[in-house]
Amino acid sequence: MRIMLADDQDRVRYALRALLAVQTDVEVVAEATSVADMLEKAGDYRPDLILVDWKLPGLAMSAALPALHRLCPGSQIVVLSGTPDARAAATAAGADGFVSKSQPPDRLLDAIHTCQALISLRETAEI
């Protein structure tokens, strides 16, 4: 699975890369530090999964997520946030999943595996 990381904090992206580096069938193909950067790179790389910080600088996520879905209709979008209360807003904006940054890394891996399964099912249905 091709993953794009979108978070303005270097240490968060580093931690995500380290977590994903030991996973099989996962490749980080792009990283973004702002909404504009994310939209540009998503269009260029067409990742299967986009892990995006709810507070990414730039356009509000309530507008950015629908734009991201239009740009990459096949991509799954999982929102990461340090504020668990952002779940409802992220879901309303079109997020396919939500993980609080305060949750253990296994929760993020579970969300990634769920996205992998959904992508696999979709690809099987298209055949």
**Structural domain span for residue 53:** 2-126
Residue 9 has pLDDT above 80, yes or no: yes
pTM exceeding 0.95: no
Count structural domains, the chain: 1
d(CA 42, CA 39): 5
Q: Quick count: other Cβ atoms within 10 Å of Cβ 109?
A: 15
Q: Where residue 53 sits, what CATH number does that domain have?
A: 3.40.50.2300
- 83 phi and psi angles, rounded to 5 deg: -115, 100
Q: Write out pLDDT tens, residues 51-66.
A: 999 999 998 999 999 9
